[in-house]
Amino acid sequence: MSLVHEIDYGTPRVDSATTVTLTIDGRAVTVPEGTSVMRAAMEMGTEIPKLCSTDMLESFGSCRLCLVEIEGRNGTPSSCTTPVTEGMAVRTQTDRLKRLRRGVMELYISDHPLDCLTCAANGDCELQTQAGAVGLRDVRYGYDNKHPAPPKDESNPYFTYDPEKCIVCSRCVRACEEVQGTFALTIAGRGFGSVVSAGMAEEFLASECVSCGACVQACPTATLTEKSVIDIGQPEHSVVTTCAYCGVGCAFKAEMRGDEVVRMVPFKDGKANRGHSCVKGRFAWGYTNHGDRILNPMIRERISDPWREVSWDEAIGRVASEFKRIQGAYGRGAIGGITSSRCTNEETFLVQKLVRAGFGNNNVDTCARVCHSPTGYGLKTTFGTSAGTQDFDSVEHTDVVVVIGANPTDGHPVFASRMKKRLRDGAKLIVVDPRRIDLVRMPHVEADYHLALKPGTNVAVLDAMAHVIVTEGLFDEAFVHERCDWDEFQEWAAFVADPRNSPEEVEKVCGVPAETIRGAARLYATGGNAAIYYGLGVTEHSQGSTTVMAVANLAMATGNIGRPGVGVNPLRGQNNVQGACDMGSFPHELPGYRHISEDATRTIFESLWGAPLDREPGLRIPNMLDAAVEGSFRGLYIQGEDILQSDPNTHHVAAGLAAMECVVVQDLFLNETANYAHIFLPGSTFLEKDGTFTNAERRIQPVRKVMESRSGMEDWQITMAIANAMGFPMTYDHPSEIMDEVAALTPSFAGVSFDKLDRLGSIQWPCDEAAPEGTPVMHIDGFVRGKGRFVITEYIPTDERTGPRFPLLLTTGRILSQYNVGAQTRRTANAAWHQEDRLEIHPNDAEQRGIVEGDWVKLASRTGETTLRATLTERVAPGVVYTTFHHPDTQANVVTTEFSDWATNCPEYKVTAVQVAPSNGPSDWQREYEAQARASRRIAPVAEPAE
Ligand code: SF4
Ligand code: SF4
Ligand code: SF4
Ligand code: FES
């Protein structure tokens, strides 16, 4: 296997319908108008030497190595900055050009240390390659280190900056600006004294740098180099796979040396990320080899016992015998399973199949329950499909970006970079969020409107925007007439037009000035292509499903559906939230969102699976926990999910788990839920298995095994073994066969196969006969459900109210460097950026309580309390506090309540009434919890074999 080679065409691809024909070294070539001469040459296979240009960046024209001759023009223009013209005749290889290029290269080399043999970039250095390409053999001016460079900067945990090797090509600076949009780098100084500088001449770690690595990737020399390359050496082969962190779904080349990952390089052909990445995907893969990984199956009788390592056969046998015993004693419905949005589609499909056909009930649920289940409900009700409407490319055609309840620069950073680029290019921005998220104001991006609403009032604000659109006649009547149910629209229009939904009335509820709401509504309705991007700040509310439908109403009313640049786009948190939902993880839905009570659908599954299916929906996670406490639910198989840490009201989750007789946890680490487990089955990382993930764009992408599973069993094999041990046969040899079964059973996946994924790289469902290569934009000619459905979205305040005891509102979220419950990222050097969860509190609220920066504070709600340290910031409004939930010792969910979305039970994480008070440090229960967790993780020493 060799390194996957991606050609660098020197300058970005140009999309133009008009073409131009020219000749290069006597050969004719036709390219889109606006293409550079360099790119035209590269596309026909003629390489032009270059240093300062790359196809990820706009051309800059500083190095003068790419000179060409053009008939009829004086001089030797740089090919990277010269656009093609019709009939142009270009020469790339004359003696004069060769001489000039050698001269340029000689100057570069004369100021560069000649330690190629011991340089980490040896063999992967463009300066070295281009010196060879121009035929440089002698350097008349020897390197004498006349211009000593500043010292190396090794502050970043993942890459080094060695100024001595810098050729001041500025590619890093431009990558930070154009690709990442952070503007952390500048070229400081002049002439030979020019150096790249992070921030105000700070170290990288202390600067604004977010460690995305775009500069490292762009650097043509060893100046910016991954520390892993310095430690391990140059990679020998690579495999294209998909990031296992967030729902952006970035494609990477896993570059390997033997079976060791050297680095992850964002794949330029990845349609979700277009060659970019964030700090997690590019750098935070070290957890794969972390010492905490559990690699052998383990069992124990009681959760107070130490774990005992056993063989796979014994562990699987124990799962099967315990589950059968429980079903014999308590009934078929006494056990269930939980699928994970971190696992592959194939693994998730198998778990729900095991539950439905092997356990004989529908007690299967997924962690998507606690994040995007309202998206499924809301978009299915209004549009007919439980998924976002666009691809990420769509944002390039957007004139008005609306971000509601999402923080893309932290949660979906690579998509945020694409969004920021569009905003820098002129699109308008509306942010609806209680916090002043980075997008509200950052270098070269500023929101036109920030609706800093009180948590829990999304529906009121969206209804008020609709009020403005309807009462001011800003809706798209032609679109609504043609595409939607007109009677339902009229009912909805009358509802939103009611004075109680006016911005002036809603201001009293949400705290956003009426004029701000009016301005945002007018901009959304009249600003051109308008696209809504939303996150868990929309869904994780008691009115989560209502909010999703209110968003859909706005898009339909203004005709912002069914073409590039518009749409309704849920930004999915975990890598495979979309896929977990698609694969039938909810208790009431079979794969493809078909209700379990539909006889015809069940028959299709029953005949292929050879087992009868229950027509009644099974238990959701909260119902399983309730039933466990009541005594009717006794066994649970949890694949890749840490419900103790991620689900609300931790004490209740713990009580439910503790009440069960057999909890089986399949994961990489002994997570918090495993403290209550009886059987532990070691899982595999995304690097150790084949399969697919589906990102927020409905894009199914391949996950490819780059190393053998360290535990000896891939996750799909474990589920298969449990099924077989329970007497329900499964006989797959490879995940591709599982996907073939998904395709055979699920109309929207009918055309999907691993072979096609290999050929196309990725596929956006629906993929069927009508759309054999997938569907980038949905609802183009009509809604999937037929007519778009307007739903009345009455604002009903949450029952969670502030009062004298709990006067503040807590809302939660995540941070760029960490991922969800932190199981993976806490076990990487990402800890350098975020070692603990902190409570953000407005300085006024802090002052009233005698709290100063960094103080320990007690955060209490009516369900529980925890302790963490305070950060004083005006990012949150007075009356609102905010924290992340990445660290188990904080257990932020101890304080969240059991309130949930009326339609889907998605927990109301985003609104909890709390009080904050000074504290001396971690509370008693936190200390007790930590001691108990430590005890629960004990593993009995393996007995020495007898002589
Ligand atoms: S790592 Fe990313 S954010 Fe940091 S300087 Fe480089 S390009 Fe900019
Ligand atoms: S650090 Fe690398 S990319 Fe940046 S100017 Fe120097 S050589 Fe060019
Ligand atoms: S944006 Fe998401 S998918 Fe992309 S590299 Fe970062 S974590 Fe991975
Ligand atoms: S590559 Fe064209 S001027 Fe540097």
d(CA 589, CA 592): 8
136 or 486: which leads in pLDDT: 486
For residue 173 and ligand 1, the question of a CB distance below 6 A is answered with no
The DSSP string of 146-186 is: -SPPPPPB--SSSEEE-GGG-----HHHHIIIIII----EE
For residue 80 and ligand 2, the question of a CB distance below 6 A is answered with no
As given in the structure block, the two tokens for residue 570 are: 């849920």
Percent of the chain with pLDDT over 90: 79
Radius of gyration over every alpha carbon of the chain, rounded to an integer in angstroms: 29
For atom 5 of ligand 1, which residue has the closest CA?
209
Ligand 3 centroid–CA 137 distance in Å is 43
d(CA 364, CA 381): 22
For residue 211 and ligand 1, the question of a CB distance below 6 A is answered with yes
Average pLDDT over residues 139-154: 73
Q: Which of 164, 165, 172 to mutate to test the pocket of ligand 2 (most atoms within 8 A of CB)?
A: 172
The whole-number pLDDT of residue 942 equals 62
The pair phi, psi for residue 153, each rounded to 5°, is: -110, 110
For residue 281 and ligand 3, the question of a CB distance below 6 A is answered with yes
The whole-number pLDDT of residue 945 equals 53
The whole-number pLDDT of residue 18 equals 96
For residue 361 and ligand 3, the question of a CB distance below 6 A is answered with no
What's the DSSP call for residue 748? G
> Is residue 231's pLDDT more than 90?
yes
As given in the structure block, the two tokens for residue 138 are: 């002698």
For residue 273 and ligand 3, the question of a CB distance below 6 A is answered with yes
For residue 243 and ligand 3, the question of a CB distance below 6 A is answered with yes
The DSSP string of 117-138 is: GG-TTTTS-HHHHHHHHTT---
> Is residue 855's pLDDT more than 90?
yes
Among 15-24, 311-320, 884-893, whose mean pLDDT is lowest? 884-893
Count of other CB atoms within 10 angstroms of residue 600: 7
The whole-number pLDDT of residue 533 equals 97
Q: Which ligand is nearest to the CA of 152?
A: 2
For residue 224 and ligand 2, the question of a CB distance below 6 A is answered with yes
pLDDT digits (tens, 9 = 90+) for 921-943: 777 777 777 777 777 778 777 65
Average pLDDT over residues 580-588: 94
Prior bond of 617 cis (ω within 30°)? no
For residue 215 and ligand 1, the question of a CB distance below 6 A is answered with yes
For residue 218 and ligand 2, the question of a CB distance below 6 A is answered with yes
Ligand 2 centroid–CA 257 distance in Å is 26
> Is residue 147's pLDDT more than 70?
no
Q: Which of 217, 245, 253 to mutate to test the pocket of ligand 3 (most atoms within 8 A of CB)?
A: 245
The whole-number pLDDT of residue 551 equals 97
Ligand 4 centroid–CA 48 distance in Å is 9
Across all residues in the chain, what is the average pLDDT? 93
Q: Which ligand is nearest to the CA of 695?
A: 3
d(CA 178, CA 533): 22
- How many CA atoms lie within 13 Å of 336's alpha carbon, on the beta-carbon side? 29
Ligand 1 centroid–CA 537 distance in Å is 28
The whole-number pLDDT of residue 798 equals 86
For atom 4 of ligand 1, which residue has the closest CA?
209
For residue 404 and ligand 2, the question of a CB distance below 6 A is answered with no
Q: At what angle do helices 735-745 and 599-609 cross, to 10 degrees?
A: 150
As given in the structure block, the two tokens for residue 927 are: 């200390």
Q: Hunting for tokens 């006649």 — which residue is that?
A: 473
d(CA 794, CA 547): 10
Q: Hunting for tokens 């039933």 — which residue is that?
A: 627
Q: Hunting for tokens 């944002």 — which residue is that?
A: 395
As given in the structure block, the two tokens for residue 941 are: 């020493």
d(CA 494, CA 480): 15
Q: Which of 58, 80, 82, 169 to mutate to test the pocket of ligand 4 (most atoms within 8 A of CB)?
A: 80
Q: Hunting for tokens 């004029």 — which residue is that?
A: 515
For residue 131 and ligand 3, the question of a CB distance below 6 A is answered with no
Amino acid at 218: A
Listed residue (647, 642, 692, 687) closest to 667, CA to CA: 642
Ligand 4 centroid–CA 54 distance in Å is 9
For atom 8 of ligand 2, which residue has the closest CA?
169
What is the signed CA dihedral for 785, 529, 419, 518, rounded to 10 degrees?
Answer: -100
What's the DSSP call for residue 900? B
> Is residue 94's pLDDT more than 80?
yes
Q: At what angle do helices 126-133 and 95-110 cross, to 10 degrees?
A: 140
Which residue stretches of 344-476 are H helix?
A: 345-353, 373-382, 408-411, 413-424, 458-471
* 734 within 8 A of 717, measured Cβ to Cβ: no
What's the DSSP call for residue 355? I
For residue 764 and ligand 1, the question of a CB distance below 6 A is answered with no
The DSSP string of 470-513 is: HHTT-S-HHHHHHHB-HHHHHHHHHHHHSGGGSHHHHHHHH---
The whole-number pLDDT of residue 944 equals 57
The whole-number pLDDT of residue 707 equals 95
Buried b (16+ CB within 10 A) or exposed e, 166-190: bbbbbbbbbbbbbbbbbebbbeeee
The whole-number pLDDT of residue 922 equals 75
Q: Which of 65, 221, 226 to mutate to test the pocket of ligand 2 (most atoms within 8 A of CB)?
A: 221
> Is residue 888's pLDDT more than 90?
no
d(CA 73, CA 250): 44
Ligand 3 centroid–CA 249 distance in Å is 6
pLDDT band at 879 (very low <50, low <70, confident <90, very high): very high
For residue 830 and ligand 1, the question of a CB distance below 6 A is answered with no
Specify the ligand 3 atom closest to the Cα of 414: 1
Q: Which ligand is nearest to the CA of 221?
A: 2
d(CA 264, CA 276): 11
d(CA 365, CA 356): 11
Amino acid at 919: S
For residue 168 and ligand 2, the question of a CB distance below 6 A is answered with yes
Q: Which ligand is nearest to the CA of 175?
A: 1
d(CA 531, CA 524): 8
For atom 7 of ligand 2, which residue has the closest CA?
166
Q: CA distances (Å), 857 to each of 13, 746, 835, 851, in order?
A: 53, 51, 17, 8
The whole-number pLDDT of residue 3 equals 85
Average pLDDT over residues 664-671: 96
Ligand 1 centroid–CA 947 distance in Å is 58
pLDDT digits (tens, 9 = 90+) for 256-298: 999 999 999 999 999 999 999 999 999 999 999 999 999 999 9
Among 143-147, 219-223, 259-263, 791-795, whose mean pLDDT is lowest? 143-147
pLDDT band at 145 (very low <50, low <70, confident <90, very high): low
Reduce the DSSP state of residue 208 to 3 states and report it.
coil
Among 83-92, 143-152, 286-295, 906-915, whose mean pLDDT is lowest? 143-152
Average pLDDT over residues 40-64: 96
**If you average pLDDT over each of 192-201, 726-735, 895-904, which comes out highest?**
726-735
Amino acid at 589: E
Ligand 3 centroid–CA 510 distance in Å is 33
The DSSP string of 221-261 is: SSSEEEHHHHHH-S--EEEEEE-SSBTT--EEEEEEETTEE
First to last CA, the chain: 44
pLDDT band at 194 (very low <50, low <70, confident <90, very high): confident
The whole-number pLDDT of residue 141 equals 66
Among 232-246, 372-386, 660-674, 881-895, whose mean pLDDT is lowest? 881-895
Among 110-114, 526-530, 889-893, whose mean pLDDT is lowest? 889-893
* H or E stretch at 607: helix 599-609
Average pLDDT over residues 18-23: 97
Long-range contacts for 651-656 (Cβ within 8 Å, ≥24 apart)? Answer: 651/863, 651/864, 651/894, 652/625, 652/898, 653/625, 655/625, 655/628, 655/629, 656/624, 656/625, 656/626, 656/628, 656/629
pLDDT digits (tens, 9 = 90+) for 289-337: 999 999 999 999 999 999 999 999 999 999 999 999 999 999 999 999 9
**If you average pLDDT over each of 136-140, 501-505, 652-656, which comes out highest?**
501-505
Q: 426 exposed, middle or buried (CB, 10 Å; 0-12, 13-18, 19+)?
A: exposed
The pair phi, psi for residue 576, each rounded to 5°, is: -130, 35
* 694 within 8 A of 248, measured Cβ to Cβ: no
pLDDT band at 89 (very low <50, low <70, confident <90, very high): very high
Reduce the DSSP state of residue 730 to 3 states and report it.
coil
The whole-number pLDDT of residue 938 equals 81
> Is residue 666's pLDDT more than 70?
yes
pLDDT digits (tens, 9 = 90+) for 703-719: 999 999 999 999 999 99
- How many CA atoms lie within 13 Å of 812's alpha carbon, on the beta-carbon side? 31
